[in-house]
């Protein structure tokens, strides 16, 4: 495993960081860039795809245009956020999404010691420590866990698509109710929405599964019918257009394929009171999560995904409305919950 560790001060007054020097010792085949000028870090950012793991912790003046690493396919990116006054772990997690990362080091100072919280993209805290060897150990554990994911790729294709279901606008409305209720407890709504398409044109092949799935990296709270991606499953998962569907598309394909009476799904990153939980934690898009879900699925219902969120599924839009109108959310304690692997 090749690792790149970037830290220290960059700009007119470069300065190395003792933390970066020490941290690099715990990673085999690690290359460290510890302080330097802007051209050096710009060069490193463009060549991050040469590495399996990138740890990005540079200190750069806010007057300089942001420099973000361009990680390679399948690589892991750990970014960092110093929690100064008026900054929280929610701000740290937001940096993960801004940088297309996998986890963040939320850094604070306690009793003249730097303390590090390793938090993944779903807000789970893997460790809080001032010991760099323990931090590195957990980073390697998270790397191995992420690399063990089972995923199915989606690819762009051209195909004829059936009519949009009449219930789509109602599904969008119900998703907004879910988002509003979830954010009322002080959390930000993430997730995705999908529906099976059943109104076929005569020329559309009936041996395929057709779905509308919310597009990747969209604002799910303000989702409209224009924010859905047309998806077809035959032997592969294909989508129409330039926008990719949600990273959870493969999981929802498996739900629709194996449970023909489920036609609507809303997924979010909180918990719903009184609902059953899966036993193991998997990241977004990991097909192993479907196997966790399988014994808990029926035509209509709600399941909490441990360390992840919830999934609401229904046979018809009336049943989905009934489920949505009776929800009570609870906070997932972002930054405090320990993953159950």
CATH number at 3-147: 3.40.50.10300
Instruction: Report residue 281's pLDDT band, with 50, 70 and 90 as the boundaries.
Output: very high
Q: How many CA atoms lie within 13 Å of 38's alpha carbon, on the beta-carbon side? A: 10
CA distances, 81 to each of 26, 107, 210, 223 (Å): 21, 6, 41, 29
Instruction: Report residue 4's pLDDT band, with 50, 70 and 90 as the boundaries.
Output: very high
DSSP per position, 120-162 = ETTS-EEEEES-HHHHHHHHHHHHHHHHT-----EEE------
- Global pTM reads 0.89
Assign a CATH topology to domain 154-330: L-fuculose-1-phosphate Aldolase (3.40.225)
Residue range 64-78: mean pLDDT, rounded: 91
Residue range 226-234: mean pLDDT, rounded: 94
Say which residue the tokens 């969120």 belong to: 309
Q: Where are the domains of the chain?
A: 3-147, 154-330
pLDDT digits (tens, 9 = 90+) for 161-208: 988 889 999 999 999 999 888 887 766 667 899 999 977 665 566 678
Alpha carbon 297 to its chain centroid, in Å, reads: 23
């Amino acid at each position: 495993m090749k690792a790149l560790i970037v830290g220290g001060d960059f700009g007119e007054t470069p300065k190395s960081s003792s933390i970066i020097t020490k941290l690099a010792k715990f990673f085999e085949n690690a290359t460290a860039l510890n302080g330097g000028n802007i051209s050096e870090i710009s060069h490193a950012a463009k060549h991050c795809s040469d590495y399996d793991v990138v740890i990005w912790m540079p200190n750069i003046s806010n007057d300089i245009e942001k420099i973000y690493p361009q990680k390679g396919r399948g690589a892991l990116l750990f970014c960092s956020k110093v929690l100064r006054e008026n900054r929280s772990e929610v701000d740290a997690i937001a940096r993960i999404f801004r940088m297309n990362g996998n986890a963040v080091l939320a850094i604070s100072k306690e009793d003249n010691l730097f303390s590090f919280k390793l938090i993944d993209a779903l807000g789970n805290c893997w460790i809080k420590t001032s010991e760099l060897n323990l931090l590195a150990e957990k980073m390697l554990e998270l790397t191995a866990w992420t690399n063990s994911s089972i995923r199915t790729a989606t690819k762009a294709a051209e195909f004829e698509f059936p009519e949009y279901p009449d219930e789509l606008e109602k599904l969008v409305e119900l998703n907004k109710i879910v988002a509003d209720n979830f954010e009322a407890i002080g959390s930000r709504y993430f997730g995705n929405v999908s529906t099976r398409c059943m109104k076929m044109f005569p020329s559309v092949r009936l041996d395929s599964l057709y779905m509308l799935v919310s597009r990747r990296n969209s604002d799910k709270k303000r989702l409209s019918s224009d924010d859905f991606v047309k998806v077809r499953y035959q032997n592969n998962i294909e989508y129409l257009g330039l926008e990719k569907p949600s990273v959870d598309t493969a999981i929802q394909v498996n739900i629709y394929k194996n449970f023909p009476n489920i036609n609507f799904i809303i997924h979010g990153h909180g918990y719903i009171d009184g609902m059953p939980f899966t036993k193991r934690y998997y990241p977004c898009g990991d097909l192993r999560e479907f196997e966790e879900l399988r014994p808990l699925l029926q035509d209509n219902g709600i399941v909490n995904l441990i360390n992840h969120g919830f999934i609401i599924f229904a046979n018809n839009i009336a049943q989905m409305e009934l489920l949505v109108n009776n929800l009570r959310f609870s906070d997932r304690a972002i930054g405090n919950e320990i993953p159950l692997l």
